[in-house]
Amino acid sequence: MKKKEILCPASNKAHINMAVDEKVDAVYGGLQNWNARNRLVNFSFNEYNEILQKLHRNNIKFYLTLNVLMLDEEIEEVISLFKSKTISLPDAFIVQDVGLAIILKKEFPEVELHFSTQFGAHNKSDLEFIESLKGSRAIIARELQYEEIKNLSKDASLELEAFVHGFQCMSYSGLCLWGSLLNNGSGNRGKCLTLCRDIYSNEEFEGNLLYKPTLDCISMIDKLENIDSLKIEGRRRNAEEIRKVVQMVKNRTNQKNAGHIFGEDIEKTNLFELVHSRMKPMYKYDELIKVNKNDIFVDFDENNIPIKFTKEINHNSFYVYSEISNKYLLDKENISFEFIVEENIIRKINYQSNKGNTTFFVDDEMSDDLIKVRSKDFINLFVQDGEINIYKIRYNRSKDDIYYINMEFLKKIRKFLIESFLNEHIENNEYIKKIPNQKIDLYIESRDIKILNDLKEDKRINLIFNVDTIEKLKNIDYYINELGSNVIYKLPLFNWKSEDLMPYYLKLQNYSVMFTRWSQILSTKNIKFKQKIIDYTVYVWNNYSVKYLQEYNIDIYTASPELSFSKNCNILKNVKKQFVFCGNIPLMYTRICFKHIFDCQNCNKIKDKNIFNKEKEISFKLKCTDDYRYLICDNPILNDYTNKKLENISLRYIIEEGDIEEIKETINTILENPDNYYNKMKKFKLWENSYQANVNVSRY
């Protein structure tokens, strides 16, 4: 068996020293911008040059993480930085963005390109696409199972890298829009809000229902015959913890089995616990002077994990924390605080922004200029504005529930909030113009063939059929016969088994298709389609990506739902573009089966799998297909583009489900009221709880 590279995480000098001590083969890390761990300290330019020299003296490679989607100005910054020779070139660039990959290879052909797991490579067509861009390595999607990895790696002509230990995201790599669409925190920008770690409930369970243990495939390493690099996750972990993992990887000493690699069966993967809390109990209920409604208790037993939240408090119940909550407002700037209380004085405050950025404030003055406050008044201490919503304050309370805070400390935080939010302005440019009597070019997307059949006689609209699985694609003759030639056929996102799909693509020759993956565009380059459209899952955040796609004669480009209207219009300036402006965009895709919380024997037993976010008071549905699950919010998106210039722009309405008469009423309202559809639709029951996502400002 060929020697496998051991690849370690690094975000500080302690990590680098550990890597040198352990004689690993390579490390990966980021600069203070442009990488998927933006909340970390990361390396300054000076530190980067120093650590690169140290690593190279010890025959250790350094791979630089640029693994986020990038805007044009950011790509220009990266290229200018390395061309200026202010900092040295790394041994490889780790990238997600196709446009960035293209220009990096052009400017620095001697540096290897490694395509991040965020790119989502999971089949042979993806590998062929990476090779076409002169990528030398694919970091394969973490969702792949053992047999799929074995099949993918057989006869692969480029290097493959796989995670063998570390945090496991529940969503498919690079396709989580959960935080971004709800409140501006994008995993594609290194600012994941980790909404999957909140407390959820269904009819039976309550707790961290989507909690995932650490991925641990060390015992499988010797079976990963054709994997070239063994990657350890953990740029947020301390150096000694990483050291232990490195030693286990070297010695193959660990025998735990957790992770997608073992399949979808919950009992085999250990991917979930029914109820879990990362909060450690502080003291027993009867040790408190009094209890208030903000207090959270659990029944806890060191020998009986998981712990369970309880409403029936008794002398064996343990207090874990207190929490004051406002309603989470989907169309506002939602922020939260955690207070660290020392002897009844709030000395430290951990702030989390709507984007997932965290800032830690410390009361340095330690003065006696204190004001008294009760827990119920915490939220009222801070600046209140129509655009800001303080939805949660968590704290470890004093036993008698009396608190003090330094007035200057409070002013400091108020000033920070004002500067962070109130001084931001709505983007304003040539695309934001109200044009009377403009027509709306409307597209309707659904995976439900019955809905599309009911709408296909309406000549005012364009229909998109979401062929969401490979099994559906194999039955494309049936769907073509049912829907005809005027429908756009949206290709499946996933092909886990790397099946040969060319026979089915050929059946769509002379029909209109929508691509959902970069590799589909390359694979079908010799097929003549009636029309070519790219979906938003083919991320286009810069003009380098647009230029690449123009070579393949793409007719319509779907704008990224993570970016504002103006940003998208500037990126897609000279091409036809489409905005998904209403309906249910899937927030994340996952391979994990949720039978552990829904008690379903198969995917069709329970039609709606409802789950409720206890912390934010938002309801979601988990939907099942043949080979993946996806999450949608009960509240649909409804973006207001009535004051926007819609020339050369079409709008898309994604229909997940619903009464056909209500759907037709919505369509009529949109088409008959282009100048006022938003206000009219908000009066419908179907849309009254809808929210706007990234319309005027996207802070990326």
Which sequence spans correspond to the domains of the chain?
A: 5-168+215-259, 442-681
Q: Comparing C-alpha atoms, which of 248, 241, 247, 187 is closest to residue 12? A: 241
Strand 442-446 and strand 461-466: the pairing is: parallel
Asked if 128 and 498 count as a contact pair (C-beta separation under 8 A), the reply is no
Q: What is the CATH number of domain 5-168+215-259?
A: 3.20.20.70
Amino acid at 432: I
Question: Tokens representing 482?
Answer: 């049912």
User: In the chain, what's the furthest Cα-to-Cα distance?
Assistant: 79
Q: Comparing C-alpha atoms, which of 386, 375, 382, 377 is closest to residue 361? A: 382
The Cα 274–Cα 321 span in angstroms is 20
Predicted local confidence at residue 255, as pLDDT: 67
Q: What are the CA-CA distances from residue 49 to residues 21, 110, 234, 332 (Å)?
A: 19, 18, 22, 41
The Cα 99–Cα 485 span in angstroms is 33
Identify the burial level of 622 via C-beta atoms within 10 angstroms of its C-beta, where 0-12 means exposed, 13-18 middle and 19 or more buried.
buried
In this structure, how many other beta carbons lie within 10 angstroms of the beta carbon of residue 589?
22
Strand 629-633 and strand 588-590: the pairing is: antiparallel
The Cα 401–Cα 295 span in angstroms is 11
What is the reported pTM? 0.89
**CA 612 centroid distance within chain:** 19
Taking 50 as the pLDDT cut, the residues of the chain under it are 39, 305
Asked if 105 and 72 count as a contact pair (C-beta separation under 8 A), the reply is no
Predicted local confidence at residue 600, as pLDDT: 77
The Cα 476–Cα 556 span in angstroms is 23
Q: Comparing C-alpha atoms, which of 638, 608, 633, 629 is closest to residue 619? A: 633
Peptide bond into 306 cis (omega under 30): yes
